[in-house]
Structure 1
Amino acid sequence: MTTAFRAVLAFTLLAGFYVLVGTVVTAALVFDVLLVIDFHANALRAAIVLTLAAAALVQALIMVSRRRGGDEPGVAVSREHEPVLWQTVEDLARRVRTAPPDEIRLVPEVNAAVAEDTRFLGLVATRRRMYVGLPLLQTLTVDEMRAVLGHELGHYSGSHTRLGAPVYRGRVSLIATVGHLGRHPIIQKVFAVYAKLYLRISQAVSRRQELEADQHAVAIGGRQAMAQALRKIHHTAIAWDLYTDGYLALTGAGGCRPAAVFGGFYSLLNDPARQAELARLGEQPQETSPYDSHPSLAERLAAIELLPEPEHVPDPRSALTLLRDANVAAHAVEESMWTPKALTELRPASWDELVAEGMYAVRNAGALHDLATAGGQVMGASRPYLDAAFEAIARGRQGELEERLRASGWESEGPVLATVLRLALEAVLIQHGQARWSLSWGGPAKLLYDDGEEAALAEYAAQVAANPAAVTGLRSWLGDQGVPHDYVPPGAEQAVPAPVAPV
């Protein structure tokens, strides 16, 4: 498929979209004019529907046209700062017979990509950028990284990036248009059908381009290097998702941010238990869709096996050797991940501290506060002290506590009171120095006593919530932990808010 044909295809699809918009707007104008010339009730209804739909279409296009791209991700590295990386990219560009990028950026993503600013529907290029994910440099060898970079430069060589911006703008315009037509289901359906057609065709072209770029990768690094790179990228992407959801998501909780983002990711990747989990996840079959931008891993590996094997000298060193100082580069990329406000207001913390502070903030603090407040409201106390909730349970008023907690937004698959009580008891142990959330790279964090035993309170909390007679034992146990009878959670209001009617 030639570049000219791709340009014609993209232009035709985009033109077809604007023809649809123009048709609706023209129809609205026609009915409006007819209504002025010769008023009819049927014409009035049609004119109103079409005019409102045309207004929604025009509004969507105006919103899309006014959007501006945000700041570029990551950090730009110059030839002076990263001479080896730049020399590698420039050497590979010559091998695939294309111009090198004007800018290389290190990004906090499991990805490598290229982009090109263009004019006139991709026919004229103005500036080229290459994005190299630091997690890839952490996990790939030099051989594998060269193959990946060759793949990306192959997109330049095949002029794949020329149509990237027009195709993206068309996608954004279509999605915005369909979304703005929610009150016009018939017209929305027409544009939704066109959007699906556009996406199917443009994404099919994209998948073909990926296979073409793989040919350049194999020509540079060989079949084994590229195949292994693809497998590692698939594996690393799964690990990065686990890392961001389970660890980086704690950023901000407790007023902290991780002092070593990529150091933590390295620890997760090298944990034996996590490696076994990632291996299992990586073996699960991939779901495919005609709207995918990339072929499946299996399809790419099968296509690579059919390509000729070039002569090359293996280089099994870590891809981090392409950087002058990996620690300096990692720190710069980490700094780029945070907003100026986060850099100023969030304190850099070790992962041990971040997990301890973050888990308490997101899991326990709210439960402790809400249980004490609900107890105070049920018992008519002047202060939200925790023992008021215990007294409510002792008097068989668990239902009222549940109602207060649900009104505060608590939900649970089981009894809400048992869940909140467990989380609150965990909080009390933490507040009194009896337990602490412990970091684990192999799985979820665990709440541990000083002697290393896990504080498993779910069963006990359920027993107390269901049995008023168990409150006496609970109070005695908390007293042994140094919790005073009139304990008020930190940060709780000194006066109990007025009772809230249950929802």
Structure 2
Amino acid sequence: MTTAFRAVLAFTLLAGFYVLVGLIVGAAVLLDVMLIVDFHVNTLKAAIVLTLAAGALVRALIMVSRLKGGEEPGVSVTREQEPVLWQTVEDLAQRVRTAPPAEIRLVPEVNAAVSEDTRFLGLRAVRRRMFIGLPLLQTLTVDEMRAVLGHELGHYSGAHTRLGAPIYRGRVSLIATVQGLNGHPLIQRLFTAYAKLYLRISQGVSRRQELEADEMAVAIGGRPAMSEALRKIHGTAAAWDVYAQTYLSLTGAGGMRPASVFNGFHALMNDPARQAEVAGLAGRPEETSPYDSHPSLADRLAAIERLPEPPHVPDPRSALTLLRDAGVAAHAVEQSMWTPEALTTLRPASWEEVVERGMFAARNAEALHDLAVAGQRVVGAGRPYLDAAFEAIAQGRQEELAVRLAELGWSPSPTMLAGVLGQALEGVLIEHGQARWTLSWSGPARLLYDDGEEVALAEYAAQVAANPPAVAGLRKWLGDHGVRHDYVPVPDEDRPAPAPGLPA
């Protein structure tokens, strides 16, 4: 089945979707009229079901029609700001015989993409945009970046973007319609089957378009450049996921945000241990589906190898050389990642400080506070002394303490009390300057004593939680670390921020 035929079929199915909606709405109106003319109980039941379903369909379509696109991601760069990048894109557009984009935007994503605002179901183009992920510029060579840009411009050359907008709109409408029919199982099954058929056809069009754009990319950069670019993008995306989940997720904890997002990502990408981890993640077999918008990496690489190799002079320089000042560009893109509120309320800090304060806020602060509050409630103390929790354990009232912790939001389990106690004891050491969370690009942050030894309290906390007489030894151990018996944990947000240049 050719791409053109698939596209025509997708548009036909999209039109058929609206016809199907119209038929159901029309049938509902017809039954309502029949009830008015000649009332029957059986007709009433069918009319109610069909009218409610028609209402759900119309409501779903109205909601979709009201959806408006948000602000474009990233930052727009002009020809004056990035002359080399613009010249590169314009030269490549000429090579693939298409008009260049009207706007180039640098985005904080492991991706490159193009879009095209259109009218009259894609027959008329209004404005073209190109999105270039800064992480790609960090990891690709000029040669590889040119191939990627050639691929994206190939979507313009093949009119893929004009087909994409209405087809995407159809996907959104169908999915919203299916979700809006939750109370109408019979009609929902009908539209679910129709949606699956539409998605299989339309996503098949998208996959074929990706292979066609790959042909453009190879014609510009050659097989090695495009193949290596795809492999790097696959690995960089896996690395960015690790970075976002492990490091960027600490943003906001402790009232801070990283002063340099992309320098941190560069450090992670250049760590040998992380390189091995990312290679393992990228090497996992891909799960494929008829509903995928892109062919698998293996299929794309195999298709590229079958293409002829064009004459080409390699350019192994970093793709960052396409930017006038990579540092300035990275800073601008980073600023676009934060909301106005985050920019004004979160203090920019080094990654070392973000990890140190963020890990305490994420792992220890709540455990420290809640254990003290739970202990106060169990023994009836006047204030939430941490020692009140120890006293509850010493009295053998662990079950009561666990119930109070569950009331504060902790998930009940046989090891809950030991886990909270261990995290709280870590927090005590941190609050008293005996230990600190330490940044590592090779793996998770590590809690270390001043001498570099790793803090490991989980086993000890489990022993104390299960053995009331062990509380005496715990109190002595804390006293040796300078912790007073009347110590009251202070929530992290209530502590004064450290002076610039001083440790927390």
- Would the TM-score normalized by the shorter structure come out above 0.5? yes
Structure-1 residue corresponding to 2:260: 260
Structure-2 residue corresponding to 1:118: 118
Say if 1:5 and 1:249 are closer, same or farther in 2 by CA, change over 3 A.
same
After TM superposition, list the pairs within 5 Å mapping 1:40-189 onto structure 2.
Answer: 40-189=40-189
Contact conserved, 2:253 with 2:358, CA < 8 A, in 1?
yes
Contact conserved, 1:364 with 1:426, CA < 8 A, in 2?
yes
- What is the rounded CA distance, in whole Å, between the counterparts of 2:59 and 2:489 in structure 1? 51
- What is the rounded CA distance, in whole Å, between the counterparts of 1:331 and 1:393 in structure 2? 51
- What is the rounded CA distance, in whole Å, between the counterparts of 1:324 and 1:106 in structure 2? 13
- What is the rounded CA distance, in whole Å, between the counterparts of 2:6 and 2:152 in structure 1? 19
Structure-2 residue corresponding to 1:452: 452
- What is the rounded CA distance, in whole Å, between the counterparts of 2:412 and 2:287 in structure 1? 31
Q: Secondary structure at the match of 2:222?
A: helix
Q: Does 1:272 align with 2:269?
A: no
Contact conserved, 1:11 with 1:121, CA < 8 A, in 2?
no
Q: Does 1:463 align with 2:460?
A: no
- What is the rounded CA distance, in whole Å, between the counterparts of 1:2 and 1:294 in structure 2? 16
Contact conserved, 1:7 with 1:122, CA < 8 A, in 2?
no
Contact conserved, 2:389 with 2:401, CA < 8 A, in 1?
yes
1:8 Cα deviation from its structure 2 partner: 3.0
After TM superposition, list the pairs within 5 Å mapping 1:29-428 onto structure 2.
Answer: 29-411=29-411, 414-428=414-428
Say if 1:493 and 1:320 are closer, same or farther in 2 by CA, change over 3 A.
closer
Q: Secondary structure at the match of 2:257?
A: strand
Deviation per CA, 1:69-101: give whole Å up to 9, x if none. Answer: 000000010010000000000100111111111
Deviation per CA, 1:47-84: give whole Å up to 9, x if none. Answer: 11111111111111111111110000000100100000
Structure-2 residue corresponding to 1:497: none
Say if 1:186 and 1:130 are closer, same or farther in 2 by CA, change over 3 A.
same
5+ residue gaps, structure 1: 495-503
One-letter identity of the residue aligned with 2:12: T
- What is the rounded CA distance, in whole Å, between the counterparts of 2:322 and 2:283 in structure 1? 30
1:3 Cα deviation from its structure 2 partner: 7.9
1:9 Cα deviation from its structure 2 partner: 2.8
- What is the rounded CA distance, in whole Å, between the counterparts of 2:3 and 2:289 in structure 1? 25
Structure-1 residue corresponding to 2:498: none
CA RMSD of aligned residues (A): 1.5
One-letter identity of the residue aligned with 2:138: Q
Q: Secondary structure at the match of 1:127?
A: strand
1:414 Cα deviation from its structure 2 partner: 4.6
Structure-2 residue corresponding to 1:498: none
- What is the rounded CA distance, in whole Å, between the counterparts of 1:356 and 1:54 in structure 2? 56
TM-score, scaled to structure 2: 0.96
State how many pairs are aligned.
Answer: 494
Contact conserved, 2:11 with 2:167, CA < 8 A, in 1?
no
Say if 1:98 and 1:54 are closer, same or farther in 2 by CA, change over 3 A.
same
Q: Secondary structure at the match of 2:105?
A: strand
Q: Secondary structure at the match of 1:381?
A: coil
- What is the rounded CA distance, in whole Å, between the counterparts of 1:326 and 1:375 in structure 2? 53
- What is the rounded CA distance, in whole Å, between the counterparts of 1:104 and 1:9 in structure 2? 33
Contact conserved, 2:10 with 2:198, CA < 8 A, in 1?
no
Q: Secondary structure at the match of 2:360?
A: helix
- What is the rounded CA distance, in whole Å, between the counterparts of 1:426 and 1:409 in structure 2? 20
Say if 1:288 and 1:29 are closer, same or farther in 2 by CA, change over 3 A.
same
Q: Secondary structure at the match of 1:131?
A: strand
Contact conserved, 1:112 with 1:148, CA < 8 A, in 2?
yes
- What is the rounded CA distance, in whole Å, between the counterparts of 1:202 and 1:8 in structure 2? 10
Contact conserved, 1:77 with 1:103, CA < 8 A, in 2?
yes
One-letter identity of the residue aligned with 2:187: I
One-letter identity of the residue aligned with 1:39: F
Deviation per CA, 1:239-284: give whole Å up to 9, x if none. Answer: 0000011110111111101100000000000001111111111211
Say if 1:396 and 1:66 are closer, same or farther in 2 by CA, change over 3 A.
same
1:11 Cα deviation from its structure 2 partner: 2.5
One-letter identity of the residue aligned with 1:239: A
Q: Secondary structure at the match of 1:115?
A: strand
One-letter identity of the residue aligned with 1:25: V
1:130 Cα deviation from its structure 2 partner: 0.4
Q: Secondary structure at the match of 1:116?
A: strand
1:16 Cα deviation from its structure 2 partner: 1.0
Deviation per CA, 1:169-210: give whole Å up to 9, x if none. Answer: 111111111111111111111111111111111111100000
Contact conserved, 2:6 with 2:202, CA < 8 A, in 1?
no
Contact conserved, 2:10 with 2:201, CA < 8 A, in 1?
no
- What is the rounded CA distance, in whole Å, between the counterparts of 2:244 and 2:264 in structure 1? 11
Contact conserved, 2:361 with 2:492, CA < 8 A, in 1?
no
1:39 Cα deviation from its structure 2 partner: 1.6
- What is the rounded CA distance, in whole Å, between the counterparts of 1:62 and 1:246 in structure 2? 40
Q: Secondary structure at the match of 2:79?
A: coil
Contact conserved, 2:402 with 2:412, CA < 8 A, in 1?
no
- What is the rounded CA distance, in whole Å, between the counterparts of 2:23 and 2:469 in structure 1? 75
Contact conserved, 1:369 with 1:492, CA < 8 A, in 2?
no
5+ residue gaps, structure 2: 495-504
Contact conserved, 1:375 with 1:389, CA < 8 A, in 2?
yes
Structure-1 residue corresponding to 2:486: 486
1:357 Cα deviation from its structure 2 partner: 0.8
Deviation per CA, 1:316-361: give whole Å up to 9, x if none. Answer: 0000000000000000000000111110111001000000111111
Contact conserved, 2:365 with 2:491, CA < 8 A, in 1?
no
Say if 1:299 and 1:190 are closer, same or farther in 2 by CA, change over 3 A.
same
1:407 Cα deviation from its structure 2 partner: 1.9
Structure 1 residue ranges, 4+ long, deviating more than 6 angstroms after superposition? 1-4
